[in-house]
Structure 1
Amino acid sequence: MRSVILSAGKSCFVACPGCYNYFGRTVSDTSQVVRFAAALRDRFALEKITVGGGDPLTRPDIVPLLRSLHSLGLRIHLDTVGTAFLGPARIRFMGAGTAEHVPADDVAAVTDLIGIPLDGSTDAVQQQFRRHATVASQLAALSLLDKAGARLCINTVVHAGNTEDIAPIAKLLGRYTAIREWQLFQFMPIGPLGHRNRERFLISNSDFERAAVTAREDAPGNVRVTVKSTSGRKHRYLLIDSAGLIWTPEQSHPAAWQSEDANDRRQLIGNINDAGILDRLMALEDAIAEVTA
């Protein structure tokens, strides 16, 4: 089965002009989410689920949700900006108010990998893509998680504004022994904001490959560099928004990235509570398997 990404929260601490995501308007009950995850495990032999954004730390019961998913025997990867690890955090996108402090120790205990974004070595570079996330705040979150014994992953969206900053980012990673992986994602011009602002962030395949070479040369020895191009991620994800809506980006049939794949449309599959949703997903997965084989 494709990678399953659960958007646990409906809001975010940052406002990324290149965001690919569609945010849900409500938050599904934890019992419904866990029941569906268990069904995916049983029907599709699902072994791992990524809990991502809207930032999962904006969800009031994020720790109970993670504990419940962990109890299913799934590997849990959590992707978060990490702001609420530092204390009560202001919600800045698709919502208002403040999210409560989330203890790093509690999350580290029930996750197998925690991904923290770092898109620049300075605020000037970092905030081109990830507004309101300072380099200092990202490093502070990494320090807390490092002390909590978490296994860490750094996520960098490589775009037109940060290709010359890969080596300085690599230098920052050497401070944290808990970092196991550094993922480089080629900017993908999809979704409501990513497609609208594509001209600011688009990067050629050759420039992305050069950035990947730099990362491999300069990354600390304990950090594995994983490179994820637009073609490599096409047809690879099944997404579930906070309200339980299941979707995938609308992409063309060929496995390689095509110009028509750069759009702001998505394919809606159904809701986690729909009758027959597992059969629908099975048919869809069979069709995708033919494309990606």
Structure 2
Amino acid sequence: MTASPDSQSAVPSLDTARRPFVLVWEMTQACDLACKHCRAEAQPRRHPDELTTAEATALLDDARRFGEGQLVVLSGGDPLARPDAVELVRYGSDRGLRMTVTPSGTGSLTRARIDELRDAGLRRMALSLDGGSGEPHDEFRGEPGSFERTLRAARDAREAGLPLQINTTVCAETVEELPAIRELVTGLDAVLWSVFFLVPVGRGRILDPIPPGAAERVMEWLREVSETAPFGVKTTEAPHYRRVAIERRAGGAERAPDGIGRRTGIVAGDGFAFVSHTGEIYPSGFLPKSAGNVREGGIVEPYRRSDLFRSLRDRDALRGKCGACPYRHVCGGSRSRAYAYTGDPFESDPLCPYVPDGYDGPLPATQQG
């Protein structure tokens, strides 16, 4: 994510039927790391059918049609594995897009590269920490030294004047690390902590998620953290964090004090869109169900008009307890997780333990028995 001085006023009026709050482009699946949770199942070499530089600039030109200040996240793999990464940040920035990047913590992320990205107009850098110290983080990332390289890059970004976001994956292997990571986020002067609750896709299929009750307790703790921390807190693929906020009488809008603002109810396909390295258009990188390819007509029309995206914006189309939930319009559940577990993106989110009053229908397998 990235900062924008006018987004606090702009976000409440955002019509997610017309534009996403977040557009993610997976620039490449190439990466020198072999992280245990990697959705992309990244590998060292770039795919021969990646979008070319010319196709990438066409994608950015089309993204401008969503409206002023569209937020674009360049992800991977490692987006810096593409030699045109800085060029594309500059191209998007020059056209009024809010460009952000999520590089991997490898030796290629030097201070000089960070300065180049800043000078190209980058608005925010997001780095991942999945352990509070070197051993657990490096084990999770599959690369000795990744922890120290990530910390060095975070400090370099801060010294370069780039707002810093820290991303963390929550699963059985990492959940006990969260308090220590929270301290690191504070010490690094990050503006946002984005906490991702595992969706079992890619390499993440081999990891154990935390159970629904534990997820609820983590969200309650995150809400407490958000009330006193010097950074914003958001969850990824865990929109029921918003229900937790409402139930704790802490306010329903997830609005981080980082200059972005958060609109309630953003889920895969509704306020969020993803373009793969080969141009496929998905509601999310964790929901690999295609609505077309940007090579065949860009991103704007598929987002606005495809049956898949339009149906995902209809919260009354949800099934099971998500469909009966009074919070469905401010939450909506993780459509990606529902798809990963059931093959149906409209089923209930199996990570959420909440059962609506009076609901006596089927429950996800994680809550049965």
Is the pair's TM-score, using the shorter chain for normalization, greater than 0.5? yes
Q: Percent same amino acid at aligned positions? A: 22
CA–CA distance in structure 2, aligned partners of residues 43 and 224 of structure 1: 26
The 3 A distance-change label for structure 1 pair 48 and 105 is same
Q: Do the aligned residues in 1 keep the contact of 2:62 with 2:299 (CA within 8 Å)?
A: no
Q: 1:78–1:113: 8 Å Cα contact kept in structure 2?
A: yes
1:245 counterpart residue number: 280
Gaps of 5+ in 1: 88-100, 251-263
Per-residue deviation, residues 168-213 of structure 1 (Å, max 9, x unmatched): 1122223223x100111111112x3223x1xx33112332333344
What one-letter code is carried by the residue in structure 2 that aligns with 1:49? V
- The runs of at least 4 consecutive aligned structure 1 residues that moved more than 6 Å come to none
Match of 1:15 in 2: 34
Distance across 2 between alignment mates of 1:173 and 1:278: 35
Q: Deviations over 1:61-90 (max 9, x none)?
A: 110011001111111121122424545xxx
Q: Equivalent residue for 2:216?
A: 209
Q: Where does 1:80-229 land on structure 2 (aligned, <5 Å)? A: 80-87=103-110, 103-109=113-119, 110-132=121-143, 134-177=146-189, 179-190=190-201, 192-195=202-205, 197=206, 200-215=207-222, 217=224, 221-229=229-237
Q: Does 1:290 align with 2:314?
A: yes
Secondary structure of 2:290's aligned partner: strand
CA distance in 2, matches of 1:140, 1:226: 24
Q: Which 5+ residue runs of structure 2 have no aligned equivalent? A: 1-18, 241-266, 316-327, 330-369
- Kept after mapping to 2: 8 A contact 1:238/1:246: yes
Cα deviation for residue 14 of structure 1 reads 1.1
Q: State the Cα RMSD in Å.
A: 2.8
| Higher RCO (C-alpha 8 Å, min separation 6) | 1
Quick check: which has more Rg, 1 or 2? 2
Residue pairs, 1:19-34, within 5 angstroms: 19-21=38-40, 25-26=47-48, 27-34=50-57
8 Å CA contact 2:35–2:141 kept in 1: the answer is yes
Q: 1:65 to 1:164 in 2, by over 3 A?
A: same
Please point out which of 34, 51, 72 is paired with 1:49. Answer: 72
From 93, 108, 117, give the equivalent of 1:70: 93
1:38 Cα deviation from its structure 2 partner: 2.0
* TM-score relative to the length of structure 1: 0.78
* Partner Cα separation in structure 1 for residue 196 and residue 157 of structure 2: 22
Aligned residues: 262
Residue 166 of structure 1 aligns to which amino acid in structure 2?
L
Structure with more of its chain in strand, by fraction: 1
Deviation of 1:245 after TM superposition, in Å, equals 2.6
In structure 2, do the counterparts of structure 1 residues 22 and 289 end up closer, same or farther at CA, with 3 Å as the change threshold?
Answer: farther
Equivalent residue number for residue 7 of structure 2:
none
Post-superposition offset of 1:56? 0.5
